[in-house]
Structure 1
Amino acid sequence: MQGEQRARTIFLWLWTLVTAAKLVVAARLPLFVDEAFYWQEGQHLAAAYSDLPGLTAWLTRLGVELGGQHVLALRLPFLAIGALLPLLVSRIAARWFGNVAGWQAGSLTLLMPLSATLGLLAVPDVPMALAAVLCLDAGARLLRNVDASSAVKLALGLLIGALSHYRFIGVIGVGFIALLALPQGRRMLADPRVWVALAVGVVAWLPLLAWNADNHDAGLKFQVVERHPWAFEWRGLWFLVIQPMLVTPILCIAMWKAALAGTRSGGGARVQWRYFGLVGGVSTLGIFALGFFTDVERISFHWPLPGYLALLVAVPVILNGWPRWLRRTGWWLAGLGMVLAFGYYLMASSSSLREQLAGDKYYPRNFAGWQPLAAAVREELQQMPEGSRVLAGNFKVGAELGFQLGRGDIDVLPHPLNDKHGRTAQLAQWNQLHEGERDVPMLLVLSPSDQRFRDLLARYHAICEQVGPLPPPRVVSNDHGFQRFLLFRLPVQRAQGACVTPALAYLDSPANAEKVSGTLAVKGWAFKEGVGLLRVEVLVDGRSIGDARYGREHDIRSFWSDSNDPQHPRVGFDAEVDTTTLTPGRHWLGLRLHGRDGSVEQWQEQPFVVEKR
């Protein structure tokens, strides 16, 4: 009884603290770009969408309808589901392994980084995890005895899963494999009540199938074919390396032991033990294997979560058989992992901390700069004729601005990024895919940070073809320019003439984060399509230190062969910076590019380090 009371107290404290921490972080964390698009889908309520079934969009709509246009309100339904999951895992474990193991399984769900932060973001993995746990619970109960309440729970889980994500098909497949591997599972599948539940699950897929039938299978093709290379890639090894870090190493070992032991353990809960082990083990192994053939460019580290939740149910039994020092180490490592996971989101929610990560591979670009951009857009629209509209350069900008401005109808230019994320078909269905023609003034908002530098000029040329030569932009620069936006006032009448684009620049020296002393030599090149540059101003920590010598010969047309800057090949510049006047430590070198059309554009900054004298 003392052990049970202690385990219960720990769980309740953890649940309270983690839930409170989620609420605080969720209220401060800027909207992730995918969340913004789900919000936009929620403003166009439908049974299904190009990228997902309907449930995620419906939940975002429910959140803002109940709590208003705020990130916390949007995330509230997902936070509620995230708070419910540890309770469900605890209850399942308690039923089959005792109350102490139940409270411990719930606590581990609160500590494991992947599940600890579940619900912070309004993403489909949250309801999908709920569906997986409901099906897991129903399956374990049906193995013991087929009854109506367990069949209803199975039907509910299958319904929620089908409305959450295409990937839930994998969860269903794993469940069938586990049941077919067990004699009790094969008997269970012969019961008509189970088949009624399965029929409900099948019917739940009909809205998604109908959407695909009406849209040339655009969503299905994207999720199954277009986003995955389906060819072996060694980069998939990274998936195997990162998973033990995301669930913490000792807990990872315990889960694998639960999977292995669960296939051969005896005892009163033998069938359920094997069931949890098979579901978790087959699911996790399958996803690990697919990691070598599927999409490795976008975030996929959360895919094994349903399998991990199945294994967590039995993990306390494994841990309690280990030496005390190892058990404690496992618990403390899980707690540390949870703290680090929350730390990342706290960093992403702080503008000052994001700025310090500028240029780093962990810089959270998709969380950065949206509120300053929205403020600049409001200012520009106030100075434009009444009836002017916003035109976004890609779906990310359109969705984020839509949320900030409270408008779900912002038009978006065709962009490879829309195709890459499976959003083009949905934008076209909403008639929000804009081809460049206009009958009212428009404020074009571009995000060059979303484009690879080597593809930027080609992208600018494509925009010229869509909307015409571009006027001087207003630059909204965040975090030393690592998140930049360009705002252009486009009149009703399309401009004519040669393609004019934003300027491009590059620093040949100094190198990124180079350590310097004395005089710093600055060299590079810069050009601006159609009109050319008048001068290049050098900045240190945002302060001008004078103009560089611009116009030296530097022929870059071997790479930028389609550039039409009239000053080629004289587009090089050089300057000197006296670092003796600077304090030792990190500083930022920037450029301000002055075009011959009157444009003034601040370029992305680059760090350098002044050594102690």
Structure 2
Amino acid sequence: MDEEQRARRWFVALWTIVTVVKVAIAARLPLFVDEAFYWQEGQHLAAAYSDLPGLTAWLTRLGVELGGHHVLAVRAPFLLIAAVLPWLVARSAAHWFGAVVGWQAALLTVLMPLSGTLGLLALPDVPMALATVLCADAGARMLRGVDAMSATELALGLMLGALSHYRFIGVIGVGLIALLWLPQGRGVLRDARVWVALAAGLLAWAPLLAWNLEYADAGLRFQLLDRHPWRFHGDGARFLLVQAALATPLLFWAMLVVSVRGIRGEGGGEGGTGPEWRYFALLGAVSTFGFFLLGFFADNERVSFHWTLPGYLALLPVVPLLLREWPRKRRLATWGLAAAGTLLMLGYYVAVSVPGLRLQAAGSKYYPENFAGWDRLAMEVEQARARMPEGTALLADSFKTGAELGFALADARIPVLDHPLNRKHGRAPQLQLWGLQHEGRVNAPTLLVVGATDVKFSALLAHYQQLCSVVGPLPPPQAVNIDHGARRFLLFALPAARHSGACISPAVAHIDVPQAGARVARRFSVGGWSVKDGVGVTQVEVLLDGRVVATATDFTDNTWLQQFLKGGSRDPRMPRVQFEAQVDASGLPPGRHWLGLRLTGGDGSVETWAEQPVVLR
């Protein structure tokens, strides 16, 4: 009894702290790009969408209807589901392995980073995790005998999962494999009530199937074919390292041991001798090892580390049984590392939600660009529209800009241009269905918003050339450099009628010397290149902390640049586009400073380029 009360107190205390911290972070954290699009889908209610079934969008709509237009309201239903999830794990584990194991399994759910941070973002993984726990618990109950309660729980879980994500098909497959693996499981599948539950779950897929039938299987093609190369690549080898970091090493090892024991049919530790522990272990084993193998052939460009979460949620009810076999120091280290991992993950989200901390990552590969700068962009857009004729339309270049700007401006109907990102993320069919994919023919004053950092740098000039072919010649842009240009947007005030003439692109430049983050003397050279289709760059001013410290007007040849820039440059000065300038920073204090460029085009336009950090010795 003392052990049970101690385990319960630890769980309640840490669950309360983590839940409160998550709510506080969620109220400040800017919307992630996918969250913004799910909000947009929620403003266009439908039974299913091109990228997902309907539940995620419905939950975002429910949140804002009840809580108003705020990031916390968007996330509130997901935070609630995530808060309930550990209690359901406790209930399931306690039913089979005792109250102490139940509270310990719930505590692991709170402390494992992947599940402990669940709900901070309004993503389909949250309702899918709930569906997984319900189905796993129902399956375990059925091993002892099928009844109306377990069949109802299974049906509910299957329906929630079908409404959450295409990936839930994998959860269903793993569950069937685990039941077929066990003699008791094969008996379960002979009960008619189980098939009634399966039929109810199958019906929940009807809206998604109907959408795909109506729109030429666009969603299925994207999820199963377009986004996956389906050829061997070596990135799957990183699985063990990534998962060990995200689940924390000792806890990940414990889950692997439980998985192997489940496959071999060995004992699950003290109290783990019935079919239930092996059923949970098999669910986790088939899922985890399956995703490990899949990682060598599937999508390696988008985030997929969270795909393993359903398998881990099946393993957590059993892991405390194994931990009882471990020496006390190793047990304590397992709990401590898990807590430290969740603390680090929460700390990351805190850093992302605080502009001053986020700024410190500018110029590095760790900069969270999908969270950054949307409020600032919205403010700049509103000010730019105020300077344009009344009734000026708004046009975004991609779904990312359209959805995030739409949430910031409370406008879910911002049209967007055809963009590779729309297709890459499976959003193009949905935009077309809403009538929001703009063909580029402008017949009214329009403010075009372009995410310059959303395009691979070598393809940026080609992207500008494509914009010219779609909307016509581009006027000089207003650059919006967020966090020293780590996130960069261009605003183009397009006239009501398309003008004829050559394409004058925005400038594209790069500082070759010094490299970002380099330590430099007080007097140092700055070298790089700059191009601008149609008119060229006539002057490059070097900025240090926003102040002009040198000017380059003489240019030399750069013969390799045409091969680097996709589509090639139509700069009339090519190949004389390489510049060099001498900087005297003797009047500045040592430490980190920001090095940038101000570029003057042959047409008199002036653009401020992104900055990069240097350290003065």
TM-score range, shorter chain: over 0.9
> Match of 1:26?
26
2:389 partner SS: coil
AA in 2 matched with 1:480: H
Is the deviation greater in 571-580 or in 263-272?
263-272
AA in 1 matched with 2:525: A
Aligned equivalents of 2:568, 2:85: Cα separation in 1: 56
Report whether the alignment pairs 1:580 with 2:582. no
2:333 to 329, 347, 367: 329
> Match of 2:612?
606
| Contact 1:469–1:497 (Cα < 8 Å) also in 2 | yes
Report whether the alignment pairs 1:564 with 2:566. no
**1:153-192 alignment runs, 5 A limit:** 153-192=153-192
Report whether the alignment pairs 1:433 with 2:433. no
> Match of 1:4?
4
> Match of 2:475?
471
Counterparts in 2 of 1:244 and 1:554: CA distance versus 1, 3 Å: closer
Aligned equivalents of 2:220, 2:491: Cα separation in 1: 35
| Contact 2:523–2:585 (Cα < 8 Å) also in 1 | yes
Aligned equivalents of 1:464, 1:102: Cα separation in 2: 62
> Match of 1:517?
521
1:492 partner SS: coil
AA in 1 matched with 2:158: L
Report whether the alignment pairs 1:290 with 2:258. no
| Contact 2:97–2:272 (Cα < 8 Å) also in 1 | no
2:366 partner SS: coil
Q: Deviations over 1:539-590 (max 9, x none)?
A: 0022222422344444444544632222333323221112332322222210
**1:67-86 alignment runs, 5 A limit:** 67-86=67-86
AA in 2 matched with 1:471: P
Aligned equivalents of 2:276, 2:319: Cα separation in 1: 13
**1:132-281 alignment runs, 5 A limit:** 132-262=132-262, 263-265=265-267, 270-281=274-285
Aligned equivalents of 1:598, 1:54: Cα separation in 2: 50
AA in 2 matched with 1:579: A
> Match of 1:13?
13
Q: TM-score, normalised by structure 1?
A: 0.98
2:440 partner SS: coil
Aligned equivalents of 2:14, 2:517: Cα separation in 1: 42
2:438 partner SS: coil
| Contact 1:97–1:269 (Cα < 8 Å) also in 2 | no
| Contact 1:472–1:598 (Cα < 8 Å) also in 2 | no
Aligned equivalents of 1:567, 1:254: Cα separation in 2: 63
| Contact 1:472–1:597 (Cα < 8 Å) also in 2 | no
AA in 2 matched with 1:196: V
Is the deviation greater in 490-499 or in 590-599?
590-599
| Contact 2:550–2:583 (Cα < 8 Å) also in 1 | no
Q: Deviations over 1:492-542 (max 9, x none)?
A: 101210011110111221123222214211112212112222321110022
Aligned equivalents of 1:126, 1:103: Cα separation in 2: 21
| Contact 2:398–2:421 (Cα < 8 Å) also in 1 | yes
Deviation of 1:384 (Å): 1.7
| Contact 1:553–1:570 (Cα < 8 Å) also in 2 | yes
1:542 to 546, 561, 564: 546
Aligned equivalents of 2:82, 2:556: Cα separation in 1: 60
Deviation of 1:464 (Å): 0.4
| Contact 2:550–2:582 (Cα < 8 Å) also in 1 | no
2:484 partner SS: helix
2:383 partner SS: helix
Is the deviation greater in 567-576 or in 353-362?
567-576
Report whether the alignment pairs 1:54 with 2:58. no
| Contact 1:536–1:550 (Cα < 8 Å) also in 2 | no
Is the deviation greater in 354-363 or in 253-262?
253-262
> Match of 2:601?
595
Is the deviation greater in 482-491 or in 518-527?
518-527
AA in 2 matched with 1:537: E
Report whether the alignment pairs 1:454 with 2:458. yes
> Match of 1:424?
428
Deviation of 1:258 (Å): 2.0
Aligned equivalents of 2:585, 2:299: Cα separation in 1: 45
Q: TM-score, normalised by structure 2?
A: 0.97
Aligned equivalents of 2:217, 2:86: Cα separation in 1: 37
2:530 partner SS: strand
Percent identity, aligned pairs only?
61
Deviation of 1:226 (Å): 0.7
Aligned equivalents of 2:392, 2:358: Cα separation in 1: 33
Deviation of 1:599 (Å): 2.4
Is the deviation greater in 317-326 or in 306-315?
317-326
Aligned equivalents of 2:74, 2:461: Cα separation in 1: 37
Deviation of 1:598 (Å): 3.6
Q: Deviations over 1:50-77 (max 9, x none)?
A: 1100100000111111111110000000
Deviation of 1:210 (Å): 0.8
Aligned equivalents of 1:333, 1:155: Cα separation in 2: 36
> Match of 1:442?
446
Aligned equivalents of 1:23, 1:442: Cα separation in 2: 38
| Contact 1:548–1:573 (Cα < 8 Å) also in 2 | yes
2:437 partner SS: coil
Report whether the alignment pairs 1:494 with 2:498. yes
Aligned equivalents of 1:55, 1:598: Cα separation in 2: 52
Aligned equivalents of 1:25, 1:338: Cα separation in 2: 14
Deviation of 1:156 (Å): 0.4
1:489 partner SS: strand
The Cα RMSD (Å) is 1.4
Aligned equivalents of 1:289, 1:213: Cα separation in 2: 30
Deviation of 1:256 (Å): 1.7
2:308 to 304, 309, 331: 304
Q: Deviations over 1:304-343 (max 9, x none)?
A: 0000011000111111221111111111111100100101
1:133 partner SS: helix
Deviation of 1:608 (Å): 1.8
Aligned equivalents of 2:460, 2:563: Cα separation in 1: 16
AA in 1 matched with 2:538: L
| Contact 1:557–1:563 (Cα < 8 Å) also in 2 | yes
AA in 1 matched with 2:148: A
Aligned equivalents of 1:156, 1:598: Cα separation in 2: 65
Is the deviation greater in 50-59 or in 266-275?
266-275
2:586 partner SS: helix
Q: Deviations over 1:473-500 (max 9, x none)?
A: 1111111111000001111101210011
Aligned equivalents of 1:107, 1:3: Cα separation in 2: 14
Aligned equivalents of 1:225, 1:69: Cα separation in 2: 36
Aligned equivalents of 1:534, 1:481: Cα separation in 2: 22
| Contact 2:439–2:470 (Cα < 8 Å) also in 1 | yes
Counterparts in 2 of 1:558 and 1:277: CA distance versus 1, 3 Å: closer
